[in-house]
Structure formats: C-alpha cells, structure tokens
Amino acid sequence: MKTSDIIKEIDNFDLSEKLMLVEDIWDSIAENNAELPLPEWQKKELDHRYGAYKEGKLGLHEWEGVHEEFRN
C-alpha cells in the first residue's frame, strides 16, 4: 500500500481513532528502538555531555524556561 493511500484512509478517521493510531505507531517505534541507528559522532557527543554533567560542568534547565526561550 502506498503512503498516499494510507493518508487518504486516515483522513476518514475521527480524531479519537487518529490519536489511537498515533499511540500505536509510537508504541511500535519504542518496541524497536534498539534498531534505530545512532551515528558514532552522536554517541560520542552524548557521552561527552553526560560526563560534563556528572562532573558538575554542565547544568540542567527547567523545561518552562527552555520552552519560553523557544517561543521568544
């Protein structure tokens, strides 16, 4: 089945059905997340940032503040 056919079919769903479908899709992705590729450079960057955080060189930000910065 083509993506365009799937989208046409989804357009016929009511909102609650669409939300349930999205939830099912996310659940399916989460079940298979070990299969998602993570480039080596991203792994190194994550390790670097986590190390800096553990050493107290990197702080955390409250979500509200980050959200406000993005809005502005």
Q: Is 43 helix (H, G, I), strand (E, B) or coil?
A: helix
Domain count, the chain: 2
3-53 pLDDT, tens digit each: 999 999 999 999 999 999 999 999 988 887 767 788 999 999 999 999 999
**pLDDT tier, 59 (very low <50, low <70, confident <90, very high otherwise):** confident
Average pLDDT over residues 55-72: 91
Residue type (1 letter), 30:
A
Domain that holds residue 5: 1-36
Query: Residues 32, 52: one domain?
Result: no
User: Does position 60 have pLDDT exceeding 90, yes or no?
Assistant: no
User: CA–CA distance from 50 to each of 26, 55, 67 (Å)?
Assistant: 26, 9, 22
Query: Residues 16, 42: one domain?
Result: no
Joined tokens for residue 8: 């046409």
